[in-house]
Structure 1
Amino acid sequence: MSGVLSTRSDHTGFQGSIKTSASDFIVTEIDTLGRLLSESAARTLHALDNAPVTRNSCCPQSHQRPESLELLGEEELCQMLGPFDSPSHAPEEGVSPAKRSTEHLAGTAPEGGHHEVGTLSSLLDESVKELLSQFASKIKTGWDSEYDPATHPAEFSLGLVPDKRNRADLHSAVRQKYPFLMTVTKNNEIIVKANTDYKQLCQLVSEEEAFDFFKFLDAKLENSKFSFKPDGNKEHRKAVHHFISSKFGKLVETKSFSVTDISGQNIAIIVRFREKSWFRKRPAADCQEKQDLYTGFILRKENLETLEAISYLSSELGVLPSDFSYTGIKDKKAITYQAMVVKKVTPKRLKEIGSTIEKKGMKLYNIHSACQHLRLGQLTGNHFDIIVRELKHQSNDSSADLKERISEAIENVKTKGFVNYYGPQRFGHGQTVQTDQIGLALLNEEMVKAVKLFFTPEDTDDPVNQAKRYFLQTEDAKGALAMLPEFKVREKMLLRALNRYGVNHEGCTRGWLSIPHSMRIFYIHAYCSKIWNEAASFRFMSYGSKVVEGDLVLSEESGDKNSSLSDRVHIVTAPEESANKYAIHQVVLPMVGHSIKYPCNKVGQWYRERLAEDGLQTCRFRVSALQLNTPGCYRHILKYIHNLSYHFLEDSEKGIKTEKDYHLTESKASLLLSFDLDPSCYATVCLREIMKCDL
C-alpha cells in the first residue's frame, strides 16, 4: 500500500514473511450460503452426483476445522460443509418444486400457520432452513441488545431460485413464518433482511399486533380486514395512521371505528386493502428473461491474477473476457478458489480445455450448467489459510517471549478489528507503474499518457516485457503485437486499435474503448481506492476511534424501499457525538465519485484538497469518451476478523511440527493462521495490522 497508513491498535507486533510460496497463502471463496468453494468439496460433489445426499444440519458458516484446509480428506470436508450449492435450471437433489401457488399459500397461512412451514421444507434443505432460523433469531435478539457486527449479519441469502413460481412461494412462506423479516430478489437470488418497518411498528403497538399485521399484509386476502386493539389516545392513533399510510398507503387504507370493549366506548383502527391493489403486475425485473447459455465452475488458480486467468481462458475458448463473470478478484501470489460463470460455452467444451490450462496454473472443478451470470460481491466472504514464516521480534522489541508477542497481537486485532484499507494487490504491488496511476491519467483524460503507463515494462526480459519495451521505444504497435504471447488479451486488443488508429489522443481513446468495460473501470477504481486509503488513515490520525460531529454513518433503518444509498448515509450531529450514539464500526467514508456525500468535518476538507493536488478539483468522475461513470460508494472504516484460529509451527530437519511447550526459535518458527473476512476485505491488510509492519 502506498504511503504511510495509520493502524487501529497499539500493540508491538512482530516480523515475518508471507507468500514465500503460493501454497503459503490459500484463499477460498465462501458462497452466499456460507459454504467453502474448495477443491476437496468440489471433488466430493462430483463423486456424489448420482448418489443420495445426506443433508448436514450443522451451521456451515462455523468454520471450526483442523489446522489447514489441505489437511482434510474429501469425506471430512463434505460432512463439515454440506453439499455445494450450484445454481442450475433444476432444483437441487432432494428439493421438490412448490405444490401451491402464492395465493393459495397466503390465503390459508394466517389461520393455520402450517403452510409456510411445508413450503419452506419443500424448497429449502434442512441446513439452509436451520441457518434461516438462526438468522431470524439473531435479528430479533439484536434489536434488543447492543449491536455486534460479528454476530448480527445484515442479510442472509437463500441462494439462487431460478423458477419464478418457487420464488413467489418462498417469498411468502418466509414472510408468513417470520413477519419481522423482509425478502427481496436480486437476479433470481432471494435475500432475507430485517424488516425495519416491523421494528418501527413495534414502537407504536404491541409486538403481537405487529406480528399479526404483517402476516395480514403479506397474505393479501381479498375483502379481509385487520383491526388494532382499541385505543383511547387520539395522538397515538394519529401516529399509527400516519405510519401505515406513509409505509403502505398504496396497498392499504386505514379508518377509525368506535368499538365497545371492557373499558367502555373506545376507538380502534381498521386496516383494509385498497381495491385490486394485490393484483398489480409483478415488476419486469423479476421475470425470467430470454435464456442464454451459461456454465458455472470453480476456478483454482496459482500465481495468477484473476483477470490474467480470464484472459487465458477466453483465449482458449474463443470468447470475450467480458463473457466471464465472478464475485471478486483474488490474490495473485496465492492458491485461490473462486466461483465463475462463462457465457456461450457448454460444460463439455469447458472440460475439453482442462489439460491445456493446467499448464498455466489453473484447474476447473464442479463444471455445471448455470442459469445466469455472477455479480461482484455475490458471496459471504473469503476464507484464508496463511503461513507466516521466519518469525522474529520487531527490531526495537526487547521482549524474550516471541510466542507471547504474537498471541497478544492476534487477540488484540480479533477484539478491536482492523482499518479496512484496500490491499496492495489492488494497486499492482511491486510493479513499476501501479494501476492507480493509470486511473488518474484516465480521469484527467490523458489518453496517451495512460497508454504509455500501461505499457511500461518491468525489469525482466520475458517476451511480455520485451514487447512493451519495444512499443515504448518505437510506437510500432504492429511489431509489438507480433511479439506478445496469445494470452495477453488486453494488451493485444489495445495494440490492434493503436495500429489501426495511431498513437495519438484519438487512437489511444479508441484503444481504451477496445478493452472490456470491467477492465477499463478497474483502473479508475484503483485510483479511488488509493484516495480512500489515505482518507481513512487521515481520519484515524485526526479523531482516533471517537465518532465525531460531521462523520458519516450508514443508517441501519431502510426507510423508503426505493431510497438511494446516499439517502441512508447520515451525518453525525453534535448532540449525537455528545451522547456517543454511534460506534466507530458504524462510520463509513466515501469512495470518490459524482453522487456521494463527504464528511462535514476536516476529513471532508481533506478530500477536496487531496483531489485538487491531482488536478481533479472539478472532476465529475465521468469519462464520457470511455463510457466510464463512477458514482462512488461508501466503505466501513473498520472491519472484524471471523472464525479465527492459529497454530505455531517450528521447522525441523524432518519437516514442520506443531509447537506446543517450548519457546519459538526466531527465524525457524512459522505461524499458521486460518480466518474468514467479509467481502472486499484484504487478508494482507489484516496481517499488517496484526504484525505492525508493511508486507
Structure 2
Amino acid sequence: MKQGSEAVNVPACFISNHEGFLGSIKNFIEDFVVTEIDIDGHLVKTEAATQTPSCASGDGNNKTSAEFLENSHSSVSQDADVSMEWGVDVPLPGLGSFDLGVILGQSVSEELEHFVLTLRDEKPPELELSLGSFADKHQRANVHRAVRHRFPFLMTVTIQPEIRVREDPDYRELSQLVKEDEAEDFFRFIDAKVRGSSYTFGPDDNKEHRTAVHHFLNRRFGKLVETKSFIDQGRTSISVRLRERGRPKKRTAEERKEEEVYTAFTLCKENLETLEAISYMAAALGILPSDFTYAGIKDKRAITYQSMVVKKVSPQRLAEKIAEFEKRGMRLSQVRSVSEPLRLGRLQGNHFDLVVRDLRPHTDAHSGVDKHTRLASLVKEAVENVKARGFVNYYGPQRFGSGQSVESDRVGLALLKEDMVSAVRLFFTPEEGDDPQNQAKRHFLQTDNAKESLALMPLSKARERLMLRALNRYGTGPDGCAQAWLSLPHSMRVFYPHAYCSRVWNEAVAHRLTTMGHSVRQGDLVRKRDGQNKTEDTGEGSAAQIHVVTHQEEQAGAYTLEQVLLPMPGNTVKYPENAMGTWYQERLAREGLRDCRFRVSSLKLNLPGCYRPLLAVPHNFSYQLQTGAGGGDGGRLRTGESLTLNFDLDSSCYATICLREIMKTDP
C-alpha cells in the first residue's frame, strides 16, 4: 500500500483477496471520463458529446476549487450572524465571485489595478479612468457591480455607453473614522442592498467617536439607512440597517419575469472543478455562483458531464456565451428552459470510463509466464471479484484534503470540540514551499497579526482572506476566531466536521471487517426491507428505518454483508448493538467527544449523521486489456499494457476506491 498522505485516512482493508496489479491513472485527461446519471437513470451526456472525448482546450491558467468553494450555496438564512432585532449581518461574497479579467478584459483589468495603486500612493485629485464602452445593459450592470465590489473606494459613473471610475469621496471620509476594512465592508453592504440586512461596526467605547460616525452615516446615507448603538457583552457597537423605504425600487414586470427564469444545460468540462467552472460562468454572466444549482460535484482532473440549472438567465442569453466558455474548457449543450432549480444529491450516480496505464504485476514471480498472459489472468480475477463482491465503501482521500500538511478532519475535530482558536491555527498551517499564500500563513501563526497577513495573502485566496478580515476586525481570541469561521459560507464550515466524521467512518468499517469478519453479525444495522434507499449525504433515513439484526437472523443468514450499514457519527443516528457500538463510544471518547452533541451552535452547525453502506458494488461493468503503442496528446506515445474500465457507481461512491480494491494499491 502507498504510505503517503493520501493513504492516511483510507485504511488498507479489502473485501477480496486477489493479487491485483500496479498501474497509473489520469496520465492523459481523456483517461478519466465521468458522466452523471440523472434521477431517472439516464446518462446526461448527449449523443454528439459521446463522439467527442474532449470538451475543449483550457488555457491552463486555472485557479483551484478551494478559491471558489466559499462562494457556493451561500445564503443569508444559513450563513448570517443575527444582530439583535436589526435583521441580519450579511456575509459578503468572496472576491472570487467577480473576475475582472473576464468582465473587463485582461488589459483593462491590469490598467485598473495600476490606477488603484496610483490613487493609493500619490492621491492625485480628480483622477479618472475610462473602462471603455459597453452597449449591453447587462454588461454595464456587471461592470458597475464587479468594480465596486472589488474596489469599494471607487465610484463608477456611466456616460452612456462609457463607464468611468474615480475615488469615492464618501469612502475617503468614512475611512478616516473607522478601520479601512470596515469602510470597505460597509460600502459593499450599501451596494448589495440586501432586504432586511444590517451591518455592524467593531466595538467602539469612545462615545464622541461613535457620535461622529453616526453623524457621518446619517448625513451621507440617511435616506437609505438608520443607525443605532447597542451594548453586547459590555462593549458598545454601531449597527446600520437599511430603511424600509431605502430598499431597491419596485421591480418591473420584466425584471420579475427575469428573476423567475430557469435554464437547464449539460456542462462538459475538462481539467476544471465544478465550482471553478461555475465561478467563471457567473462572472461572465454577471450573476452570483449561488445562482447555479447542480446535483453533484465532479472531479477536476477528468472530462466530466453533468446537469446544471442557472436562474435569472434565459436560454438565449446563455447561448450567446457558449463560444466564450469553450475557450476555458467548458462546453454547454442541451440548453433549455425548465421550471425549477436542481437539488444537490438528485442523481442516481455516475458512469466512469477509465484507462489504467503502465500495467505490471506486483511481483516478478512466475517469470516463465508471458507478461501479457499473466496480466490478463490478474486483471480477470480482480475485475470478476469486484463485480461479484463489490469493494469497501471508503470515503476517498479527496474528502480529507489530500496532500495538505494538516488535513481537514483535524480542523473538523477542533470545531466539534468548539476550540475555535486551535481550529483557526490548524486552518492556517502552511504547506511546504515559500509561495505568497504560505508566507502569509506563516506570518499569521508567528505574529498573530491578521492585518499584515491579509496584506500578504494573494487576492485569489478568498477563503483565507475572509477569515483574516474577520480576525483583524474581531481579534484572534475565541470570539474573534468564531467570527472568522462565521465569515465562511455554511457549506464550507460544515465541510470540516463532515471530514472528521468521514474519517471515523473509514476507521469503523476497517475495524468491523478486521475483528468481526465478512459475515453479518447480531447487532449489525441494516435498512428495513420495506425501506427505500436514501442518498447518504442528505442525512435522510431516520433511525426508525434502521433494523438491528437478531441472533436468529444471523443464524439463518437473512442478510448479506452488502446490506450492512455503518453510521456516520451524528446526533440522530443509532449505533450497532454489538462490539462496534462500544468501538464508536471509545473512539469518540479518545478524542474528547464522549458527550459531543454534534452541534456547534455558535457556528450554526448541526450534524445529524447518516447511514452508509459498508460495501459498494459497481454496475454495468466491462473491461478491455490492450497491448502496444498508440498516439497521445501532442504526439506523445502511449506504450505498454493498458486497461480500459467502464462501470456505474451510486452517488457518493468513489471510483478511485473501486480501483484500489481492483489493483490492491493506490492507483
Q: CA deviation at 1:432?
A: 2.0
Q: CA deviation at 1:37?
A: 2.2
**Cα deviation code 1:557-590 (max 9, x no counterpart):** 149xxx9621010111111111111111111010
Q: Which residue of 1 aligns with 2:649?
A: 677
List runs of 5+ in structure 2 lacking aligned partners: 1-6, 56-257, 533-539
CA distance in 2, matches of 1:486, 1:355: 28
Q: CA deviation at 1:358?
A: 5.3
Q: Which residue of 2 aligns with 1:425?
A: 398
1:580 aligns with 2:578: no
Q: Does the 8 Å contact 2:259/2:311 carry over to 1?
A: no
Secondary structure of the residue aligned to 2:297 is: coil
1:35 aligns with 2:3: no
Letter of the 1:628 partner, please give it: L
In structure 2, the CA distance between the partners of 1:71 and 1:309, relative to structure 1 (3 Å rule), is closer
Q: Find 2:299's aligned residue among 331, 344, 348.
A: 331
Q: Does the 8 Å contact 2:409/2:503 carry over to 1?
A: yes
Q: Find 1:688's aligned residue among 649, 653, 660.
A: 660
Q: Which residue of 2 aligns with 1:294?
A: 262
Q: Which residue of 2 aligns with 1:608?
A: 585
Q: Does the 8 Å contact 1:382/1:677 carry over to 2?
A: yes
Q: CA deviation at 1:436?
A: 1.4
Q: Does the 8 Å contact 1:649/1:670 carry over to 2?
A: yes
Q: Which residue of 2 aligns with 1:506?
A: 479
Q: CA deviation at 1:386?
A: 0.9
In structure 2, the CA distance between the partners of 1:544 and 1:622, relative to structure 1 (3 Å rule), is same
CA distance in 2, matches of 1:499, 1:358: 40
1:20 aligns with 2:27: yes
CA distance in 2, matches of 1:675, 1:451: 41
Letter of the 1:342 partner, please give it: V
Q: Does the 8 Å contact 1:322/1:518 carry over to 2?
A: no
- Greater relative contact order, per chain length (Cα 8 Å cut-off, separation 6+): 2
Q: Which residue of 2 aligns with 1:570?
A: 547
CA distance in 1, matches of 2:588, 2:529: 30
Q: CA deviation at 1:17?
A: 0.8
CA distance in 1, matches of 2:268, 2:447: 38
Secondary structure of the residue aligned to 1:410 is: helix
1:11 aligns with 2:22: no
Q: CA deviation at 1:3?
A: 5.1
Q: Which residue of 2 aligns with 1:372?
A: 340
Q: Which residue of 1 aligns with 2:498?
A: 525
Q: Which residue of 1 aligns with 2:625?
A: 648
**CA-atom RMSD, angstroms?**
3.2
Secondary structure of the residue aligned to 2:337 is: strand
Q: Does the 8 Å contact 1:414/1:641 carry over to 2?
A: yes
CA distance in 1, matches of 2:597, 2:480: 24
Q: Find 1:593's aligned residue among 570, 580, 590.
A: 570
Q: Does the 8 Å contact 1:585/1:636 carry over to 2?
A: yes
Q: CA deviation at 1:655?
A: 6.0
Q: Find 2:614's aligned residue among 633, 637, 649.
A: 637
In structure 2, the CA distance between the partners of 1:653 and 1:684, relative to structure 1 (3 Å rule), is closer
CA distance in 2, matches of 1:361, 1:507: 40
CA distance in 2, matches of 1:680, 1:336: 16
Q: Percent of aligned positions with the same letter in both sequences?
A: 55
CA distance in 1, matches of 2:17, 2:626: 26
Q: Does the 8 Å contact 2:10/2:394 carry over to 1?
A: no
CA distance in 2, matches of 1:456, 1:632: 28
Letter of the 2:611 partner, please give it: Y
Letter of the 2:346 partner, please give it: Q
Q: CA deviation at 1:35?
A: 2.1
Letter of the 1:381 partner, please give it: G
Q: Write the mapping of 1:92-491 to structure 2, written as runs, cut at 5 A.
A: 292-314=260-282, 317=285, 319-347=287-315, 350=318, 361-395=329-363, 397-398=365-366, 400=369, 401-481=374-454, 487-491=460-464
**Cα deviation code 1:90-109 (max 9, x no counterpart):** xxxxxxxxxxxxxxxxxxxx
1:70 aligns with 2:44: no
CA distance in 2, matches of 1:463, 1:360: 25
In structure 2, the CA distance between the partners of 1:438 and 1:573, relative to structure 1 (3 Å rule), is same
Q: Which residue of 1 aligns with 2:130?
A: none
CA distance in 1, matches of 2:426, 2:43: 38
List runs of 5+ in structure 1 lacking aligned partners: 45-64, 73-289, 657-665
CA distance in 1, matches of 2:260, 2:470: 30
Letter of the 1:694 partner, please give it: D
Q: Which residue of 2 aligns with 1:93?
A: none
Of 647-656 and 371-380, the range deviating more from structure 2: 647-656
Secondary structure of the residue aligned to 2:53 is: helix
CA distance in 1, matches of 2:485, 2:416: 13
CA distance in 2, matches of 1:631, 1:428: 22
Q: Does the 8 Å contact 1:311/1:489 carry over to 2?
A: no
* Count of residues in correspondence between the two structures: 443
Q: Does the 8 Å contact 1:347/1:368 carry over to 2?
A: yes
Secondary structure of the residue aligned to 2:648 is: strand
**Cα deviation code 1:334-382 (max 9, x no counterpart):** 2222222334445455556656665654444434433223222211110
Secondary structure of the residue aligned to 2:309 is: strand
